[in-house]
Amino acid sequence: MSSGYSCVIIEDEPLAQNVLKKYIEDHPALELAGIFPDAIEAQSLLSQKNIQLVFLDINLPMLSGLNFLKTLINPPLIIVTTAYPEFAIEGFELGVIDYLLKPFSFERFLKAVNKASEKLNMLRNVTEQSSPFIFIKADKKVYKVDLEKILYIEATGDYLKIYTVETNYLIHSTLKNFLEDLPSSSFLQVHKSFIIAKSKIVFIEGNYIRVADRDIPIGASYREEVLRKLKSKN
Amino acid sequence: MTKQFFWLDNLWIRVLQHLFFWGLSFYIFLQFFKTGAKAERIDYLYTALFQFSLLPTVYLNLKWLLPGFANKRNWLAYTFFILILISLFSWLNFQFFERWSVKILPDYFFISYFTWRQVAGFFIVYVAISSLLKLSKSWFRVNELQRQLLQSEKQKIQNELKALKAQVNPHFFFNTLNSIYSMALDKDDRLPGTVLQLSDLMRYFLYESKEDFVALDKELRVLNDYIALQKIRSDEKLLMEEKMEGEVKNERIAPLLLITFLENAFKHGNRTGSKMAFIKLFIRVQQGQLDFQVENDKGIIDKVETKENSGVGLENVKRQLELLYPGRHQLIIHNLADRFVVHLQLKL
């Protein structure tokens, strides 16, 4: 089984299709299986092929995106793309993975796809053991990063530096944002500027945690929480 | 009402009014009653006593009979009671000066100048004058009230119009921005022009639509910008037919009226999936009259509706027309099986 996800776009405006098409082309793990101007036309493909991810507009001709979603018996993962913020709650009630408000950036798109891949990984892990990973955008490329290779993450201004066993990545994001993409069982924020991988801790001494060859400070307001979480794991 | 809505109702001003009335009345009586060239002490006393005897009748009439019966159009009861009042107190007045004054005030000698009927005549005059004064005051009050009511009514209509106007669909802007974003990714040549059209449109919506009336040619220009942006969004899947007759001079029109119909046409017409959609627009300006017709085919549409666009658009325009062009507009909407036609005639 390939690690790529087969996806489709359901969107009636050509220019909006174009944005999604470009984003999908830039993402190494996404394979575009089709673009449809309305939901009815997409239906047959969805039933024939194994589609894992759908980018779905809400305001569609003939059948609205949300109503289309209600008709699906075994729906693939859905990422809604729309200019209508008022349907977000209904969307999430219908189990959509993420809700993108047009126009949206590639970074926001990536975050949505990461959420989807996390979910798909979980589904896959039931049958086969593959190491979980996320996608990040650094210097105009999208990298696949295995979660188990991440050592720690440091925030500097508007950027995050992700230290892995092999290399470092500089990405445009915030710690709070990035933490949401990581499984909370393996990662821990220990300082307002640091997230560490629990499995990579060498030792803890006073107010420092040694990860790889770096002493990472424990923030005063994080200390209690960090110690509690580390203890409960053991 | 907590606020003093009428200045004549202020307590001190009311007291002053009454003092002034009785003061004036006292002076006139005195001139009338005095025996010599100069008013004597006895004249003052007589005038005061005479005037005092008028008070119960006048105030009972003002405070009790007028509000109690006359205001409720109960004329029979009013006439009955006012006759009793006048008879009773004029009789008391008459008796007082005729008989009792000698016993109560033995030092003075009053001659009763008047017969009972004449005294009653005085009473009638006073009741009439004080009633008329009261009436004229209420007339002022009613006038003032009416003025305030009219003003608040006008304010209400103004507010309603304001609320009705700001109804342009925000999704249109975000969808257009998304198109612009797509062009920017592609470095599309249409991008600069599209940004200008959008900013023209936004300027119109944000600033100029706050005016009550705008130049007609401006509204028509904005219609064209709007059409251009919608065309870009739908690419080549839209058949748009525009026809314009007549000449726009310096007619003025309420802003955003026409665009609402056009918006409606795009919302419903431009939704036939992969098939072509058509929208026909016809505008004629002639001798101060505007003919506006927009026609769209009906696609199968699954309603994506929110509070702000669920048919409220057309209802709003109807109400706006009633308020802004009473008796000067005609709106005909044909909801046919395959088409939707709106025809608006407006006397500008």
pLDDT of residue B240: 83
Residue B44 within any structural domain of the chain: yes
Q: Report how many Cβ contacts below 8 Å link chain A to chain B.
A: 81
Cis-peptide into A103, omega within 30 deg? yes
Average pLDDT, chain A: 88
A157 vs chain B: nearest CA distance in angstroms?
27
What is this model's ipTM?
A: 0.71
A126 pLDDT band, cuts 50/70/90, is low
CATH of the domain at B281: 3.30.565.10
Same domain, B170 and B148: no
pLDDT for B2 equals 38
Residues B262 and B196 in one domain: yes
B173 is a domain residue: yes
Domain boundary (B157, B182, B206) is at B157
Of B110, B127, B157, the one marking the end of a domain is: B157
Alpha carbon of A23: minimum distance to chain B alpha carbons (Å): 10
Question: What is the domain count for chain B?
Answer: 2
Percent residues over pLDDT 70 in chain A: 94
Residue B142 is assigned to a structural domain of this protein: yes
Chain A residues with CB-CB distance to B235 below 8 A: 13-15
- Contacting B with CB below 8 Å, chain A residues are 12-16, 18-19, 22, 37-38, 40-41, 58-64, 67, 83-84, 86-87, 101-103
Report DSSP letters for B142-195, one per residue: HHHHHHHHHHHHHHHHHHHHHHHH----HHHHHHHHHHHHHHHHHT-TTHHHHH
For β-strands A53-56 and B339-347, DSSP reports them as: unpaired
Query: What's the distance, CA A149 to chain centroid?
Result: 17
Assigned domain for B2 exists: no
Determine the distance from the C-alpha atom of residue B230 to the mean position of all C-alpha atoms in its chain, rounded to a whole number: 40
Q: What is the pLDDT of residues A191-222, one digit of tens each?
A: 999 999 999 999 998 899 999 889 999 999 99
- pLDDT at residue B310 in the model: 46
Interface residues of B toward A, Cβ cutoff 8 Å, are 170-171, 174-175, 177-183, 185-186, 232-235, 271-274, 299-304, 306
DSSP string spanning A171-212?
Answer: EE--HHHHHHHS-TTTEEEEETTEEEEGGGEEEEETTEEEET
Same domain, B186 and B140: no
Same domain, B142 and B198: no
| Chain A CB contacts of B183 below 8 Å | 15
Residue B195 belongs to domain spanning: 166-347
| Same domain as B108, residue B200 | no
Q: At what angle do helices B41-60 and B11-33 cross, to 10 degrees?
A: 130
Record the pTM: 0.63
B187, part of any domain: yes
pLDDT tens digit string along B24-43? 988 888 887 777 777 777 78
Q: What is residue A113's predicted lDDT score, i.e. its pLDDT? A: 94
Do residues B316 and B167 touch, judged by C-beta distance below 8 A?
yes
A59 contacts in chain B (CB < 8 Å): 171, 304
3-class secondary-structure state, position B341: strand
Q: Return the CATH architecture of domain A147-233.
A: Beta Barrel (2.40)
The 10s digit of each residue's pLDDT in A158-195 is 899 999 998 999 998 889 888 888 888 889 999 999 99
Sign of the four-CA dihedral B81, B84, B87, B91: negative
Residue A58 has its nearest CB partner, among B174, B273, B304, at B304
Residue B21: inside a domain: yes
In A, which residues are within 8 Å of B170 by CB distance? 83
- Residue of B171, B302, B305, B306 to mutate, testing the A interface (most A Cβ within 10 Å of its Cβ): B302
Q: Are residues B331 and B186 in the same domain?
A: yes
Domain extents for chain A?
5-127, 147-233
The residue out of B157, B185, B204 marking a domain boundary is B157
User: CB burial class (10 A; 0-12, 13-18, 19+) of residue A75?
Assistant: middle
Q: Are residues B136 and B224 in the same domain?
A: no
* B97 and B171 part of one domain: no
Interatomic CA distance for residues B171 and A103, integer angstroms: 11
Classify residue B1: in a domain, yes or no: no
Tell me, yes or no, whether B101 and B184 share the same domain.
Answer: no
Q: Are residues B137 and B226 in the same domain?
A: no
Do B116 and B219 sit in the same domain of this protein? no
User: Hey, are the CB atoms on A63 and B178 less than 8 Å from each other?
Assistant: no
Q: Which CATH superfamily is domain A5-127 in?
A: Response regulator (3.40.50.2300)
One domain for residues B333 and B200: yes
- Residue of chain B whose alpha carbon sits nearest to that of A38: B273
pLDDT per 10-residue tile (average), chain B, 348 residues? 57 88 88 76 82 88 85 86 89 82 72 78 89 87 88 82 68 90 92 92 84 89 90 80 87 88 78 70 92 84 51 76 89 86 91
Q: Look at residue B116 in the predicted model and tell me its pLDDT.
A: 81
- Tell me the per-residue pLDDT of A221-231, one tens digit each, with 9 for 90 and over: 999 888 888 88
Secondary structure string (H, E, C) spanning A13-40:
CHHHHHHHHHHHHHCCCEEEEEEECCHH
The residue count of chain B comes to: 348
Does the pLDDT at position A81 exceed 90?
yes
How confident is the model over B143-186, as pLDDT tens digits? Answer: 888 988 898 888 888 777 776 665 667 888 898 999 999 999 99
Give a yes or no: residue B298 inside a domain: yes
Distance CA B283, CA B291 (A): 6
Which residue in B168, B176, B183, B185 has the most chain A C-beta atoms within 10 A of its own C-beta, making it the best mutation to test that interface? B185
